Structure 1
């Protein structure tokens, strides 16, 4: 058991591992909101994607700035503006991806959401590391 704890502690020293854990939490928030909106409330896919993704990125900013990238910058500042800009771009990619996969390619909602999530997680990490949290990353 002590070896497992030691391994976890070593893994958490890697920023990418922390980003993946944070990404998992963000994805969970995103999926819960998305499926509540589309399933329970019967909202259309595109507005549901915008709202669920927005909930995920708010969670992402809060956790990534403190835990993943350990920034000391002000909460409301240039870093947040860059984060919002980057994530609006990624949101655009996610909406386009959902639209292409569901309406143009005929994929089901769940498969489209999974493919879109994989795409945006990779894109989000790269852009956040290079543009938003670059001083500490």
Structure 2
């Protein structure tokens, strides 16, 4: 039987779906900032990208903290762990991308999708088990 306990499958699915929804919202916000900065403010593509990702990372942290994991733990330690986990997930993404293209000869378009899937799964698991580990149970 499926359990709604913190380790039960329904609990993981619940958090996974919320994490995915936050990802969609975060993507929209990030791209809105990128294009507003680039087209509206006349910033360079690189500066706009940095701004969009910075805003997106903050948005992701706040939404995941509050909506996905309902954390009430101290914010600063969680934010530091979140940044660390982001870096780990992104480096995994980069490693999978390069390995897929260079060792497995996967076309770059498909390698990006594979790498993105690894990034998302790693970010979710590390967020649940490490970043927001002290969050209350639903």
TM-score (norm 1): 0.62
Structure 1 residues 61-110: Cα deviation after superposition (integer angstroms, max 9, x where no partner): 132112111223455x1111111111111111011111111233222222
**Which residue is equivalent to 1:18?**
18
Runs of 4+ in 1 over 3 A off after TM superposition: 24-33, 50-59, 72-75
2:77 aligned with 1:65: no
Number of residue pairs aligned between Structure 1 and Structure 2: 113
Segments of structure 2 that go 5 or more residues without pairing to the other structure are 1-13, 35-44
Give the secondary structure class of the aligned counterpart of 1:107. Answer: coil
Q: RMSD of the TM alignment (CA)?
A: 3.5
In structure 2, do the counterparts of structure 1 residues 108 and 57 end up closer, same or farther at CA, with 3 Å as the change threshold? farther
In 2: Cα distance, 1:99 partner to 1:114 partner: 12
Indicate the residue corresponding to 1:6 in structure 2: none
Q: For residue 89 of structure 2, what is the aligned residue in structure 1?
A: 90
Query: Displacement, 1:31?
Result: 8.8
State the partner residue of 2:78.
79
TM-score normalised to structure 2 length: 0.62
On the 8 A contact 2:73/2:134 being kept in 1, the answer is: no
Q: Deviations over 1:95-135 (max 9, x none)?
A: 11111112332222221111111112111111111111111
Counterparts of 1:1-137 in structure 2, within 5 Å, are 14-26=14-26, 57-73=57-73, 75=75, 77-136=76-135
